[in-house]
Structure 1
């Protein structure tokens, strides 16, 4: 059965007369009288295999050039990035494993803990659950609610980060731990696999971020990208994190990171309010009590900081009002960097975090103190000898401030 209408020959002739170039899409008006007109576009004959080969070659060349450029900036394969999915993956281990030691805290205990040194001293590799720019208290409370956790919680704090109501930068980590969609999980696994091969995938060096940082003053009087903390961290498997090596060697990036921290609210904010202090003390006491009721325990660690940043922290929350009050309220033991001789004079390039080498020295120092504070974590008989600041401090490096009087 033909679908053409009467007068098809004349219509065909008229259509031929109105023939368009092949690269212009034919429309219903070009086919009057034809039933169910469907827009058509003729595909011109082209050497498609050669075009595909050329496009592939140009893409690979551009990719290779970008990867080469990023590696010259010391962005190397194996830096997996510190994402909420990675934290959630580690947190779920508590639900299925007997975890003897878990670390929660902010970026200082994350940067300043060498998991391999911890394991060499004790035979235990701790679960690293600290997060950059994030209040440790909600995560201690989450650990207190984990019925399967009966181990030792090491809580690393910067007081002005811990004594506040807000969770901070990585509040999404707890949400992702509770529910992670298949798309989120698969995207994370794919990104992690590719990050073992390519260095250009670093989140802090996306092209969009680099373009935004070209202008340090987007608007007068407004916080621009230069006031933000840029890349300072590198992360490998099991969230072993440390200072990006370029911060130690690149003066401009080091000074930028220092300036960003000195402008942060941790230093420039008002003194911590009494009600926030009271809330923090009570929440900590309750969380510690829950963990101890199941047979676990909690120890606090205060890593070093120095310079104007440390002065601002002490102004906002003096040690007696923060650290000492916290230990007393929760009846917990603590290790303050100011009280550990081996933690004095360590190198903090941007005043807030230790170099990788000094992080190993600090880990050695605080783990040995932990072994003295709790029978849960004895030193191995074949533990390596103790480290000293001289094992990591370079001449002219920025050292930690001496203990406060």
Structure 2
């Protein structure tokens, strides 16, 4: 009977070289030569190779370049025909953040809604008063969040001119663009660089506008709504803007009757979304908040002035009825001890063109700014004289 070691004993008679050969794996077959088309099996090498065919690559590249330039030129020409302009910067959160970082020391700062934004010409103000204001106004937004931010900034001791679109001012502390404050605090270096790069291209091309994007073109189409559903529209493009946020009403709003009427037709839809008149407790709370912020700025040597710019149509109706100045504007000015400039109180601030009832014609805004600045500094000088005489 074979013993338990019979297999070892059987192997003992096999030469060592043969035993090693039996344990080693069989050699892999040689790789076949590459076929005539230049392909080699991908598992044969670390990477596959392909012979580039002979083509007129230079002429192909030139053709692509010519076609690209031609298509961009056609697209650019189309939007310039629609009155879009190169040098019109995007009113982005990055643009606002850039100007907010400049609002330090004794700077003159504009905060408010689109009326302060479109109606005040920074260049004319600089010519009139010798100082160029910093524009922090935002369309569709209450200035209260910006006033609080400036009041809590120990580095700011300047002059704030706050525009009051009364329903927006009292109904909310912020509005549709109030998120710019958080963006300013969290803005990354890449976002800052992207803003500079975007400005460089905006100086050259007119088609680089938010309103030229397919999404915005589609959104701005008039489409039927379901029965009982109120139409919801946002204003079309209304302004053009320089790099430091110096803005004015877009000339198409002033010169294109059809486009202007579209803007006028949208205002009742946006006004319908506004909050109803506030209760007495709500009005008192807003005034107390504003008074607190005004006192902080004055405590550092600064000042706050409130303004109400010209309006017509449904905006004038709202300011004259549901949001009458006696309950809102006049009371805020009186209880905060600030200067208030209401266009109805000054003949020099009346009689200007308001193409779509809410903002001044771009050429009228220049004359209005000069007169508004003159009145403002005269009122400040008069108040200072009264304080000194006490």
TM-score by length of 2: 0.83
Deviation for aligned residue 1:40: 6.5
Who is 1:133 aligned against?
140
Work out the CA distance in 2 between the residues paired with 1:108 and 1:37. 66
Inter-CA distance 377–153: structure 2 relative to 1 (3 Å threshold): farther
Report the Cα distance in structure 2 between the residues aligned to 1:174 and 1:338, rounded to whole angstroms. Answer: 33
Q: SS of the counterpart of 1:264?
A: helix
Deviations for 1:75-129, whole angstroms, at most 9, x for unmatched residues? 111111222211111111134xx33421111110111112222222221221211
**1:284 paired to 2:297:** no
Question: In the alignment, which of 192, 203, 214 is matched to residue 185 of structure 1?
Answer: 192
1:92 aligns with 2:101: yes
**Can you give the 5+ residue segments of structure 1 that lack an aligned partner in the other structure?**
379-405
Q: Secondary structure at the match of 2:355?
A: coil
Quote the residue 2:125 is aligned against: 118
The CA deviation at 1:187 is 1.1
Q: CA contact under 8 A between 1:152 and 1:297: conserved in structure 2? A: yes
SS at match of 1:238: coil
1:238 shift after superposition: 2.0
Q: Aligned to 1:320, what secondary structure does the other structure show? A: coil
Instruction: Check if 1:62 corresponds to 2:68.
Output: no
**2:84 paired residue number:** 75
Are 2:164 and 1:157 equivalent residues in the alignment?
A: yes
**Residues 232, 5 of structure 1: CA spacing in aligned structure 2 closer, same or farther, 3 A cutoff?**
farther
Change (3 A) 1:59 1:217: same
CA change 1:154–1:71 in 2 (3 A) is same
Structure 2 residue 14 is the aligned partner of structure 1 residue 7? no
The separation in 2 between residues aligned to 1:153 and 1:31, in whole angstroms, is: 73
SS of structure 2 residue aligned to 1:154: strand
CA distance in 2, matches of 1:89, 1:201: 20
Q: Is the radius of gyration larger for structure 1 or structure 2? A: 2
Match of 2:379 among 373, 376, 381: 373
How far the C-alpha of 1:365 sits from its partner, in A, is: 2.5
CA RMSD of aligned residues (A): 2.8
Quote the offset at 1:44 in angstroms: 4.6
Please tell me whether the aligned partners of residues 41 and 48 of structure 2 are also in contact (alpha carbons under 8 angstroms): no
* Total equivalences in the alignment: 358
Whether contact under 8 Å (2:106, 2:302) holds in the other structure is: no
Instruction: Flag structure 2 segments of 5+ consecutive residues without an equivalent.
Output: 1-25, 385-390
> In the alignment, which residue of structure 2 is the partner of 1:311?
317
Shifted more, 60-69 versus 85-94: the winner is 85-94
Deviation at 1:315, TM superposition (A): 3.4
What's the counterpart of residue 331 of structure 1? 337
CA distance in 2, matches of 1:266, 1:91: 32
Partner of 1:294: 300
1:174 aligns with 2:181: yes
1:307-342 Cα shifts (integer Å, max 9, x gaps):
123213443322111111211221112000111112
Q: Deviations over 1:165-196 (max 9, x none)?
A: 35112122212322321121111101111111
Q: Which moved more, 1:258-267 or 1:347-356?
A: 258-267
Structure 1 residue matching 2:341: 3-state secondary structure: strand
**Farther off after superposition, 216-225 or 192-201:** 216-225
CA contact (8 A) 2:171 2:275 kept: no
- Could you state the TM-score of these two structures normalised by the residue count of structure 1? 0.80
Once the two structures are TM-superposed, the CA of residue 155 in structure 1 deviates from its matched residue by 0.9
In structure 2, do the counterparts of structure 1 residues 42 and 172 end up closer, same or farther at CA, with 3 Å as the change threshold? farther
Partner of 1:53: 62
Change in 2 beyond 3 A, CA 1:8/1:283 = same
Is residue 360 from structure 1 mapped to residue 366 from structure 2 by the alignment? yes
